[in-house]
């Protein structure tokens, strides 16, 4: 394996539950590093104490672990890196790239509202850049709170390379001198994010298109620090099927939704990696296969990417069906434990029989619950249940037929063959016979084949259920 110096990072802010967009960001950075034999690192952007809803990033770490997205360098926490930010801020100050801003929040909001009314782009009007040294000294002497702002200069433009948008030039006249610090002295996302990308020598940044406007200011920061610009891929935002930005109201927005519903981590990564991309001969791919297959160079996709839960269900179905039986058994057991506590007492062999028989019909692990309900909860069948699926005139005839062969139920094929033969001689349609058997065993008219059902239940239990029918 050749070692290159490609370095990517996932840099989440611990502001809440991981959503599908952040899964995609993590995944793309991970896959790119893997493909290029580079380094993928995790950096927790927790400088905003008020919005730190996941202290220690426990949930993020757990989610990444669940998704099998392992990082090569231990997680960095921005909250532990304040001295570096202060040092870098001083460099900007010393080189006139940063200036103090004493404007209050109310003043800024008023100016902003005015600009909007005048149909001007809302930008900081640089009041504080124009202050004299004496004014500044006075404000400081009065203990007036201030922040540091980036001085974007005048008439500067900056070009970045973006895999989705090509070479993109930003005219910095259209951007605000953004804030580098807050009034409490802590640093902003814009600043810390960039300082760290430089310090961690990040070469490629895959992130949502919503960050594209931040990139202009951040590129100016790279320039101010004389650091080489990374290559970007601002990925199109995920939309729901109606073309609206994916939101909390859409099922599957949060990773938690998908976990609860029984989607497998492999399927989620697989789907999210191929969504909106070119078509693949074989769409079902593991992380390794995705890393080997995805083409990252010359991607010119932009616009919308539609999240289609039906496609995700299909991918999940494929994964369920190709999962190693032992792995699938453990996942199903864990998922259904609450619903059917008896599942924990079943032998591995028994559970495998149950799972392997129905797995071709399920799209999520949750659906095993429905498919296997008949096993864990004995259905109560009445004549009127049978009458829903069979002509009433046939019911007694079919029940007598079962009765006369019930003793041989443990002969497997023999039992079914005898029933079939006798049904034929008595002119009872086979379809009716099998429907009755299935309803008797499971409570439902459709499901696995009768022989499979008898194997799943075991002959004793199957017999018990058929006997119960006689006493309707």
Query: In the complex, which residues of this chain contact ligand GLU (CB under 6 A)?
Result: 11-13, 45, 189, 193, 205, 207, 211
Q: How far is the CB of 450 from ligand GLU (least distance, A)?
A: 54
> CA dihedral defined by 319, 322, 323, 326, rounded to 10 degrees?
150
Angle at 56 between CA 52 and CA 60, to 5 degrees: 85
CA dist., res. 264 & res. 33, Å (int): 23
Cβ neighbours of residue 142 closer than 8 Å, sequence gap 6 or more: none
Q: How far is the CB of 198 from ligand GLU (least distance, A)?
A: 13
Long-range contacts of 143-147 (CB under 8 A, 24+ apart): 144/102, 145/102, 145/183, 146/100, 146/101, 146/102, 146/183, 147/100, 147/101, 147/179, 147/180, 147/181, 147/182, 147/183
Ranges assigned E (strand) in 243-307:
305-306
Q: How far is the CB of 296 from ligand GLU (least distance, A)?
A: 16
Q: How far is the CB of 10 from ligand GLU (least distance, A)?
A: 7
Q: How far is the CB of 197 from ligand GLU (least distance, A)?
A: 8
Secondary structure of 162-176 as H, E, C letters: ECCCEEEEEEHHHCC
- Supply 3's token pair: 């070692």
> Which position has the token pair 């037929």?
401
Contact 412, 419 (CB under 8 A): no
CA dist., res. 265 & res. 73, Å (int): 22
Q: Which is nearer to ligand GLU, 211 or 306 (CB)?
A: 211
Would you list the DSSP string of 322-342?
HS-HHHHHHHHHHHHTTT-GG
Q: Which is nearer to ligand GLU, 168 or 459 (CB)?
A: 168
Q: Which is nearer to ligand GLU, 46 or 371 (CB)?
A: 46
CA distances from 386 to 298, 418, 431, 436 (A): 62, 22, 13, 7
Strand, helix or coil at 147?
strand
Q: How far is the CB of 227 from ligand GLU (least distance, A)?
A: 15
Q: Which is nearer to ligand GLU, 232 or 368 (CB)?
A: 232
Q: Which is nearer to ligand GLU, 194 or 315 (CB)?
A: 194
Q: Which is nearer to ligand GLU, 211 or 311 (CB)?
A: 211
CA dist., res. 10 & res. 57, Å (int): 13
Q: How far is the CB of 22 from ligand GLU (least distance, A)?
A: 7
Contact 291, 31 (CB under 8 A): yes
Q: Which is nearer to ligand GLU, 215 or 394 (CB)?
A: 215
Q: Which is nearer to ligand GLU, 235 or 362 (CB)?
A: 235
Give, for 356, the enclosing helix (H) or strand (E). helix 348-358
Q: Which is nearer to ligand GLU, 195 or 457 (CB)?
A: 195
Q: How far is the CB of 45 from ligand GLU (least distance, A)?
A: 4
Q: How far is the CB of 164 from ligand GLU (least distance, A)?
A: 14
């Amino acid at each position: 394996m050749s070692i290159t110096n490609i370095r990517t990072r996932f840099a989440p802010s611990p502001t809440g539950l991981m959503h599908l967009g952040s899964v995609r960001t993590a995944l793309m950075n991970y896959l790119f590093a893997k493909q290029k034999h580079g380094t993928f690192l995790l950096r927790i952007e927790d400088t905003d104490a008020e919005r730190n809803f996941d202290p220690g990033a426990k949930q993020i770490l757990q989610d990444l672990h669940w998704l099998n997205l392992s990082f090569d360098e231990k997680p960095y926490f921005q909250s532990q890196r304040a001295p570096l930010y202060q040092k870098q801020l001083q460099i900007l100050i010393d080189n006139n790239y940063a200036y103090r801003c004493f404007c209050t929040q109310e003043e800024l909001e008023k100016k902003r509202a005015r600009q909007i009314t005048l149909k001007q782009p809302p930008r900081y009007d640089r009041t504080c850049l124009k202050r004299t040294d004496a004014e500044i000294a006075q404000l400081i002497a009065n203990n007036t709170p201030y922040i540091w702002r980036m001085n974007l200069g005048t008439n500067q433009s900056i070009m970045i390379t973006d895999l989705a948008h090509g070479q993109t030039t930003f005219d910095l006249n259209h951007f605000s001198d953004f804030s580098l610090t807050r009034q409490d002295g802590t640093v902003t996302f814009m600043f810390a994010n960039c300082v760290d990308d430089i310090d961690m020598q990040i070469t490629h940044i895959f992130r949502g298109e919503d960050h594209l406007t931040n990139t202009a200011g951040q590129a100016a920061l790279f320039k101010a620090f004389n650091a080489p610009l990374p290559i970007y891929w601002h990925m199109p935002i995920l939309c729901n099927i109606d073309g609206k930005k994916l939101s909390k109201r859409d099922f599957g927005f949060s990773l938690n939704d998908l976990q609860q519903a029984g989607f497998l981590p492999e399927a989620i990564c697989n789907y999210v990696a191929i969504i909106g991309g070119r078509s693949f001969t074989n769409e079902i791919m593991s992380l390794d296969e995705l890393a080997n297959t995805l083409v990252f160079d010359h991607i010119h996709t932009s616009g919308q990417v539609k999240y289609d839960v039906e496609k995700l269900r299909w991918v999940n179905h494929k994964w369920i069906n190709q999962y190693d039986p032992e792995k699938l058994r453990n996942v199903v057991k864990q998922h259904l434990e609450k619903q059917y506590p008896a599942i924990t007492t079943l032998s591995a062999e028994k559970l495998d029989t149950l799972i392997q028989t129905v797995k071709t019909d399920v799209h999520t692990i949750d659906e095993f619950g429905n498919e296997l309900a008949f096993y864990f909860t004995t259905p109560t069948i009445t004549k009127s249940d049978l009458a829903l699926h069979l002509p009433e005139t046939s019911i007694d005839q079919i029940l007598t037929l079962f009765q006369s062969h019930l003793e041989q139920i443990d002969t497997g094929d023999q039992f079914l063959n005898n029933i079939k033969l006798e049904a034929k001689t008595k002119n009872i349609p086979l379809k009716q016979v099998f429907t009755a058997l299935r309803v008797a065993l499971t409570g439902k008219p459709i499901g696995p084949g009768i022989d499979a059902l008898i194997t799943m239940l075991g002959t004793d239990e199957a017999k018990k259920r058929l006997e119960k029918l006689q006493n309707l």
